[in-house]
Amino acid sequence: MNPETWKTSITKIEPNKIVVRGYLLDQLMGNFSYCQLIYLLIKGELPTRNVGKILDAILVSCVDHGVSPPSCQNAMIAASTGAQLNAAIASGILAINEFHGGAIEKSMQFLEAAADMMNQEKLSPEEAAEQTVKRYLDNGQKIMGYGHRLHTEDPRTGKLYALAQEYGISGRYIQLSRAAKDAIKKLNGTDLPINVDGAIAAVLCELNIPSELANAFFIMARIPGLVAHIYEEKKRYQPMRPINFSLAEYDGPTEREI
Amino acid sequence: MNPETWKTSITKIEPNKIVVRGYLLDQLMGNFSYCQLIYLLIKGELPTRNVGKILDAILVSCVDHGVSPPSCQNAMIAASTGAQLNAAIASGILAINEFHGGAIEKSMQFLEAAADMMNQEKLSPEEAAEQTVKRYLDNGQKIMGYGHRLHTEDPRTGKLYALAQEYGISGRYIQLSRAAKDAIKKLNGTDLPINVDGAIAAVLCELNIPSELANAFFIMARIPGLVAHIYEEKKRYQPMRPINFSLAEYDGPTEREI
Amino acid sequence: MNPETWKTSITKIEPNKIVVRGYLLDQLMGNFSYCQLIYLLIKGELPTRNVGKILDAILVSCVDHGVSPPSCQNAMIAASTGAQLNAAIASGILAINEFHGGAIEKSMQFLEAAADMMNQEKLSPEEAAEQTVKRYLDNGQKIMGYGHRLHTEDPRTGKLYALAQEYGISGRYIQLSRAAKDAIKKLNGTDLPINVDGAIAAVLCELNIPSELANAFFIMARIPGLVAHIYEEKKRYQPMRPINFSLAEYDGPTEREI
Amino acid sequence: MNPETWKTSITKIEPNKIVVRGYLLDQLMGNFSYCQLIYLLIKGELPTRNVGKILDAILVSCVDHGVSPPSCQNAMIAASTGAQLNAAIASGILAINEFHGGAIEKSMQFLEAAADMMNQEKLSPEEAAEQTVKRYLDNGQKIMGYGHRLHTEDPRTGKLYALAQEYGISGRYIQLSRAAKDAIKKLNGTDLPINVDGAIAAVLCELNIPSELANAFFIMARIPGLVAHIYEEKKRYQPMRPINFSLAEYDGPTEREI
């Protein structure tokens, strides 16, 4: 046996056969959605249809946010210099970090800390949330997932939580995220909405996704948006125009019903 | 009016409101899949449910292919040096180019050339395919989308074409891709299967997706695979191990039924 | 013999020994400059001291150009989101393409075409330049290396050509680049200065550097600038500030003598 | 005054004028080396000629290390898929992280901790090194800069320290780095050489370079090597060959004298 042999548990490739986590890829096609495959690849097991649907809703919720996010700006700037599509996308992804997109991971860590306290000390969600918020505030740690630069009531949060309820996925983490909103108001005096990062964090916690992979969900979600902006830049504008992002005006379709 | 004002038709952001191509994002959540949003962002209009389903099948078909693809190797190597998740993903994406993933775009250009000839010269798909193959061969141009290093019959192709038929999406491009397979055999003497790149190319042509965005579909499809391999590398192995990709052995679940 | 063995001619590594292109690396240290090593690595032979000095001047000429270049903007935006240093640099490099930095390669191809014509048709530099300019204009091809968005007389060009003269490196390519400037004026009616891209192109041609590596010189040159801007962004500003690049004001040292 | 105005102290751009940290760029060309410009950009002041020379030696010391480093492998793999030069370089840079190249930063932090202790407690270098080593060992922290996978006596370290001595740059940090080597042997029982990361760290400390920029020096140093390997891959091999890095054989020039 070659001593350098090493193992991978993800995908087996043989002639005319691709087996992902034990399942034939061609049998998965048509029967399971892309979002269910994300779960299969990360967790090793096929999720229910409803898990696929809530992941779909998460990806849809972050699919684009106009030209102000740094990831969009990097992708557009790179495109404007003549970058190939993959390089422009990569450039955008390199701007998805702690302060842009990264709040999901931090928010999951907060909710996991609250859930641990709830378990270990046999507390109600309200008590656990309050004690965790207090500990964060005492330590001068920022609690991520609350408040938004622009949205005083993030429209994506309410919808995501309603869908989680409908799909039977809502549980202690969503309870904790709501209880923490109240605790922050009580202890810190700030009345902040749960933002989309906080809502996604709670749902990913319900699905038992590792927090260190949170950023991947934001990255996957945002790529269609990056691609649309890259394509618009290449089709609509001369290369190397100076792009002043604060002077963009929307000229797409007016608001319409689904 | 500020003369530097410029236009973007993709997304309008207002307080508590995110409007993508005219639709409220929170109303899209739960009603439309991520794959339908990809189409909306790129094409500007909401697709039918079946278009969403065939795009889902396309993304699933390329979601992973083990540790031999260059994109997977780059992502794993970067992860092994301690790269953050987004940087490891970006590193993988930078290896998705003309010779890895890029065949979809080239194959779409071939099929578009054949369709143009079919239209302009009032030919049957078989005639148009044969003449286009002949022109490519005469010019020494490589026809992409046929043959595979490993798979003599790509299991993903048959399934994708069957689903396209079922969803009512199959049309002239799939006809042309099949006719070209026969023409290559006749004119070049090589009996090559339609590979997954060629099959995806035909379906994307049916959906009228611009060929210069083909690579984006492969990139989006492959990210869950990259994430799984990055995560496995970080969890299972010491940093900076020398990774000999030809010595990998699969130790995941044995083949199982859906 | 293992049939998969393959060859590399660049560096041999043995315990306590690093041999680059045949030379012990520790013997190169202190005796040869970084710029001489660039040449050694690319061309396989050690250059003269003067070649090292002109390469040093080339790198210095492009070391920074403030906050308006796309590469700087991408690096700063990524840094502002919390990107690690290497990811912020990579993001900047991904914006160095055909329309930013890429003019050096295109300009080298133009000068090589002129030199080929000069050789084959036994022409003077003036004749060869004029005929090449004419061919480009007739074909609607853009001639790169002339004119600048901001500088009507690029201060770096004159200095680089003076140094090339002083170091004994000035030859036919610099002659051709000057002759083409006159030919463009005569044939196209536009009186454009040779910009720094055009000047670097001529010098790299004199050194027989392959044009497909031109971009590497711009990338290497610009990294110290990217690093300085990344560092300033991280030290001086809050993360995720909206950066309006057209509103930057210089507050560094006033002009001073060397 | 526009309230969004913000400041940058690095470079002032005016028509026909580029002023870096107060100096006209064209006056710097030919008078100061690229390595001196790195220092100017980062520190804001022009360094002595000797500082330029030791930085040149640092960059030369890391200019290439064959095909086993992850950064080289990523760059070659990306090149093999058809990546453009800048994307292949960026891919390589994304693999320069904590466990590859990153030891310089960690080693600087160790030496700075030792120097702080030396200052605050009025200790000799030997005493300060020993106490700092002890604290690291007690805390289970890894001390970076000692030992090498392959080199039992890193040839680059001795040369770098000799040059630092010759250039008048050798001081307390190099003393501390040597004293720590002895302390590690005494306290941990392991006799490890100072590796090139440790030696570079000590010199960068002597120059008062911020440790968070250490990685930039490794990145700048390694790019010529990446470029050479990318170029060799593109010129010498077919795209998408499976690259088994452990089967590379050197076929460059045999060892030769300078």
Q: Write out chain A residues lying below 8 Å of D86, CB-based.
A: 87
Measured distance CA(A110)–CA(A121) in Å, rounded? 16
Measured distance CA(C28)–CA(B158) in Å, rounded? 59
Residue of B nearest to C94 (CA): B94
Q: What is the pLDDT of residue A149?
A: 82
Q: In angstroms, what separates the C-alpha of D186 from chain C's closest C-alpha? A: 24
* pLDDT tens digits, one per residue of C171-211: 999 999 999 999 999 999 999 999 999 999 999 999 999 99
pLDDT under 50: residue ranges of chain B: 1
Task: Specify which residues B79 forms β-bridges with.
Answer: none
The encoded tokens of residue D213 equal 């920029």
Q: What is the pLDDT of residue A148?
A: 86
Q: What is the pLDDT of residue A2?
A: 63
Furthest-apart CA atoms within chain C: distance in Å: 66
Q: What is the pLDDT of residue B2?
A: 63
CB atoms within 10 A of CB B59: 25
Measured distance CA(A227)–CA(B216) in Å, rounded? 7
Closest by CA position to C242, among listed A193, B9, A237, D6? D6
Query: How sure is the predictor about D151, in pLDDT bands with cuts at 50, 70 and 90?
Result: confident
DSSP notation for A205-242: HHTT--GGGHHHHHHHHHHHHHHHHHHHHHHHS-TT--
Average pLDDT over residues C62-82: 98
What's phi and psi for D97, nearest 5 deg? -140, -165
Q: What is the pLDDT of residue B3?
A: 65
Q: Do D10 and C64 make contact, defined as CB atoms within 8 angstroms?
A: yes
DSSP notation for A88-103: HHHHHHTT-STTTTTH
Show Cβ contacts of residue D24 under 8 Å, excluding neighbours closer than 6 positions. Answer: C155, C255, D17, D18
* pLDDT tens digits, one per residue of A190-207: 999 999 999 999 999 999
Closest by CA position to B68, among listed B220, B252, B246? B246
DSSP notation for C40-100: HHHHSSPPPHHHHHHHHHHHHHTS-BTB-SHHHHHHHHHHHTT--HHHHHHHHHTT-STTT
Q: In angstroms, what separates the C-alpha of B92 from chain D's closest C-alpha? A: 8
Q: What is the pLDDT of residue B46?
A: 98
- Beta strands A11-14 and B17-20 are unpaired
Q: Do C44 and D232 make contact, defined as CB atoms within 8 angstroms?
A: no
Secondary structure element (H or E) that encloses residue B19, with its range: strand B17-20
Q: Write out chain A residues lying below 8 Å of C247, CB-based.
A: none
Q: Do C42 and D231 make contact, defined as CB atoms within 8 angstroms?
A: yes
Angle at C86 between CA C82 and CA C88, to 5 degrees: 50
Chain B touched by D147 (CB under 8 Å): no
Show Cβ contacts of residue D224 under 8 Å, excluding neighbours closer than 6 positions. Answer: C34, C37, C38, C41, C42, C220, D63, D64
Which amino acid is located at A227 in the chain? V
Measured distance CA(D82)–CA(D80) in Å, rounded? 5
CB atoms within 10 A of CB A87: 30
Q: What is the pLDDT of residue C148?
A: 86
Q: Do B91 and D91 make contact, defined as CB atoms within 8 angstroms?
A: yes
Query: How sure is the predictor about C55, in pLDDT bands with cuts at 50, 70 and 90?
Result: very high
Query: How sure is the predictor about C150, in pLDDT bands with cuts at 50, 70 and 90?
Result: confident
Chain D touched by C81 (CB under 8 Å): no
Q: Cα–chain-centroid distance for residue A16? A: 35
Chain A touched by D208 (CB under 8 Å): no
Q: Write out chain B residues lying below 8 Å of A2, CB-based.
A: 247
Specify whether the CB–CB gap between A177 and A194 falls below 8 A: yes
pLDDT score of D216 more than 60: yes
Q: SS3 sequence, chain D?
A: CCCCCEEECCEEEECCEEEECCEEHHHHCCCCCHHHHHHHHHHCCCCCHHHHHHHHHHHHHCCCECECCHHHHHHHHHHHCCCCHHHHHHHHHCCCECCEECHHHHHHHHHHHHHHHHHHCCCCHHHHHHHHHHHHHHCCCCCCCECCCCCCCCHHHHHHHHHHHHCCCCCHHHHHHHHHHHHHHHHHCCCCCECHHHHHHHHHHHCCCCHHHHHHHHHHHHHHHHHHHHHHHHHHCCCCCCCCHHHEEECCCCCCCC
The encoded tokens of residue A206 equal 């319900």
In three-state secondary structure terms, C254 is: coil
Whether the CA torsion C143, C149, C154, C157 is positive or negative: it is negative
Q: In angstroms, what separates the C-alpha of A108 from chain B's closest C-alpha? A: 16
pLDDT score of A1 more than 60: no
pLDDT score of D1 more than 60: no
Q: How many helices (H) and strands (E) does chain C have?
A: 11, 5
Average pLDDT over residues D113-123: 97
Closest by CA position to B10, among listed B40, B36, B35, B30? B40
Question: What integer best gives the mean pLDDT of chain D?
Answer: 96
Task: Specify which residues B11 forms β-bridges with.
Answer: B20
Secondary structure element (H or E) that encloses residue C106, with its range: helix C103-120
> pTM of the entire structure?
0.97
Q: Write out chain D residues lying below 8 Å of B100, CB-based.
A: 81-82, 240
Q: Do C8 and D247 make contact, defined as CB atoms within 8 angstroms?
A: no
Chain D touched by C163 (CB under 8 Å): yes
Q: Cα–chain-centroid distance for residue A102? A: 9
Q: What is the pLDDT of residue D148?
A: 85
In three-state secondary structure terms, A85 is: helix
CB atoms within 10 A of CB A1: 5
* pLDDT tens digits, one per residue of C99-112: 999 999 999 999 99
Q: What is the pLDDT of residue B65?
A: 97
The encoded tokens of residue C34 equal 């970084």
Calculate the dihedral angle through the C-alpha atoms of C198, C199, C202, C208, rounding to the nearest 10 degrees. -110
Specify whether the CB–CB gap between D228 and C42 falls below 8 A: yes
Measured distance CA(B198)–CA(C90) in Å, rounded? 33
Distances B151 to B104, B154, C22, D91, D217 between C-alpha atoms, Å: 17, 5, 43, 29, 45
pLDDT score of C124 more than 80: yes
The encoded tokens of residue C35 equal 């710029």
Report which DSSP code applies to B146: B
Interfacial B residues in 216-235 facing A (CB < 8 Å): 216, 219-221, 223-225, 227-229, 231-232
Q: Write out chain A residues lying below 8 Å of C88, CB-based.
A: 94
* pLDDT tens digits, one per residue of D171-185: 999 999 999 999 999
Secondary structure element (H or E) that encloses residue B168, with its range: none
For B90-128, give one letter per residue: b (16+ CB within 10 A) or e.
Answer: bbbbbbbbbbbbbbbbbbbbbbbbbbebbeeeebebbbb
Average pLDDT over residues A57-81: 98
Task: Specify which residues B23 forms β-bridges with.
Answer: B20
Q: What is the pLDDT of residue A4?
A: 83
Average pLDDT over residues C2-13: 90
Chain A touched by B82 (CB under 8 Å): no
Q: Write out chain D residues lying below 8 Å of B68, CB-based.
A: 242
Average pLDDT over residues C220-230: 98
* pLDDT tens digits, one per residue of D245-256: 999 999 999 999
Q: Do B100 and D87 make contact, defined as CB atoms within 8 angstroms?
A: no
Query: How sure is the predictor about A3, in pLDDT bands with cuts at 50, 70 and 90?
Result: low
Question: What integer best gives the mean pLDDT of chain C?
Answer: 96
DSSP notation for A90-157: HHHHTT-STTTTTHHHHHHHHHHHHHHHHHHTT--HHHHHHHHHHHHHHTTPPPPSB--SS-SS-HHH
Closest by CA position to A257, among listed B36, B13, B53, B19? B19
Report which DSSP code applies to C244: -
Q: Write out chain C residues lying below 8 Å of D57, CB-based.
A: 29-30
Closest by CA position to D92, among listed D112, D65, D118? D65
Q: What is the pLDDT of residue C2?
A: 63
Measured distance CA(D2)–CA(B176) in Å, rounded? 60
Q: Is A15 exposed, middle or buried (0-12, 13-18, 19+ CB in 10 A)?
A: exposed
Specify whether the CB–CB gap between A174 and A203 falls below 8 A: yes
Q: Do A82 and C94 make contact, defined as CB atoms within 8 angstroms?
A: no
Specify whether the CB–CB gap between C160 and C203 falls below 8 A: yes
* pLDDT tens digits, one per residue of D5-49: 999 999 999 999 999 999 999 999 999 999 999 999 999 999 999
Question: What integer best gives the mean pLDDT of chain A?
Answer: 96
Chain A touched by D87 (CB under 8 Å): yes
Chain C touched by A240 (CB under 8 Å): yes
- End-to-end distance of chain B based on CA atoms, in angstroms? 60
Specify whether the CB–CB gap between C207 and C54 falls below 8 A: yes
Q: Do A240 and C70 make contact, defined as CB atoms within 8 angstroms?
A: yes
Measured distance CA(C78)–CA(A126) in Å, rounded? 38
Angle at C189 between CA C183 and CA C195, to 5 degrees: 65
Query: How sure is the predictor about D149, in pLDDT bands with cuts at 50, 70 and 90?
Result: confident
Q: Write out chain D residues lying below 8 Å of A95, CB-based.
A: none
Chain B touched by A87 (CB under 8 Å): yes
Specify whether the CB–CB gap between B95 and A42 falls below 8 A: no
Measured distance CA(D100)–CA(D144) in Å, rounded? 12
Task: Specify which residues B24 forms β-bridges with.
Answer: B19
Query: How sure is the predictor about D2, in pLDDT bands with cuts at 50, 70 and 90?
Result: low
Q: In angstroms, what separates the C-alpha of B131 from chain A's closest C-alpha? A: 30
Q: What is the pLDDT of residue D3?
A: 65
